């Protein structure tokens, strides 16, 4: 699924849940992409990848994606050119060291992968010896949509002289115990919005999360 398809799909899902979502979570703005150790630059576009592969560096989302086997990676795009950049057709891939290629997880994949959350509930005691009732957790899909609204990209178009960022999640459940060691993020088919000309693939060698700057996890 392309970046734009995921973005449109998520927005469509979000509409029925707006009235039931909890308060938005504030995410500090990203640094310029060139300030992250893991970045690649060409044609006045810099794209960085900032892994959240520890509890300290993972985003403070409603669902613990990392705990369910989905590593969060923040993608930061800085457009220093004078024309808008489009990510409508972009593929943002995780290439693990063992030659496994992972697409960013879709909303459906995240929901299936975190479905155990649906069974969680809090027992509330009642007076008079009555049996306790179970307060059910919020529906997983609502939380995933709310997380994407707060932590994901707000638009698939990056305006000139601006920086935009969003968290994506990659399924590492079947990968090696150190799935990011020697791994690369590839951004394919980013293009200029005005001309539709595609840029060369960005290849971003991932760095240990502990060496990266404070970027608003």
Contact between 145 and 100 under an 8 Å Cβ cutoff? The reply is no
Residue 215, domain member (yes or no): no
Domain contains 33:
yes
Q: Give the chain's domain count.
A: 1
- Please answer whether residues 159 and 84 qualify as being in contact, where contact means their C-beta atoms are separated by less than 8 angstroms: yes
In a domain, 214, yes or no: no
User: Does residue 187 belong to any structural domain of this protein?
Assistant: yes
Inside any domain, residue 23: yes
Could you tell me if 78 and 33 are in contact, meaning their C-beta atoms sit under 8 angstroms apart?
yes
State the pLDDT at residue 212. 47
What pLDDT sits at residue 6? 61
pLDDT truncated to tens, each residue of the chain (217 aa)?
A: 566 656 654 544 444 444 455 788 888 899 999 999 999 999 999 999 999 999 999 999 999 999 999 999 999 999 999 999 999 999 999 998 778 899 999 989 999 998 764 445 556 565 555 556 545 555 668 899 999 999 999 999 999 999 999 999 999 988 877 888 889 999 999 999 999 999 999 999 995 544 445 555 5
Whether residue 143 is contained in a domain is answered as yes
pLDDT number for residue 5: 58
Whole-number Å distance between alpha carbons of 120 and 186: 36
pLDDT score of 144: 93
Give the domain extent around 159. 3-209
Q: Evaluate whether residue 216 is within a structural domain.
A: no
């Amino acid at each position: 699924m392309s970046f734009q398809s995921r973005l449109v799909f998520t927005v469509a899902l979000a509409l029925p849940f707006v009235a039931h979502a909890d308060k938005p979570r504030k995410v500090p703005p990203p640094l310029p992409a060139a300030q992250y150790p893991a970045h690649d630059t060409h044609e006045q576009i810099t794209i960085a990848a900032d892994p959240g592969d520890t509890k300290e560096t993972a985003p403070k989302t409603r669902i613990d994606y990392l705990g369910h086997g989905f590593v969060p990676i923040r993608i930061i795009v800085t457009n220093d050119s004078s024309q808008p950049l489009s990510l409508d057709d972009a593929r943002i891939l995780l290439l693990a060291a063992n030659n496994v290629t992972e697409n960013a997880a879709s909303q459906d994949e995240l929901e299936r992968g975190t479905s155990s959350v649906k069974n969680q509930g809090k027992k509330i005691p009642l007076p008079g010896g009555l049996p306790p009732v179970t307060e059910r957790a919020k529906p997983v899909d609502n939380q995933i949509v709310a997380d994407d609204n707060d932590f994901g990209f707000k638009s698939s178009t990056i305006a000139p002289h601006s920086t935009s960022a969003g968290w994506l999640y990659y399924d590492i459940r079947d990968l090696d115990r150190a799935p990011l060691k020697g791994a690369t993020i590839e951004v394919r088919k980013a293009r200029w919005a005005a001309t539709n000309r595609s840029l060369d693939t960005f290849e971003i060698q991932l760095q240990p999360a502990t060496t990266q700057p404070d970027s608003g996890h």
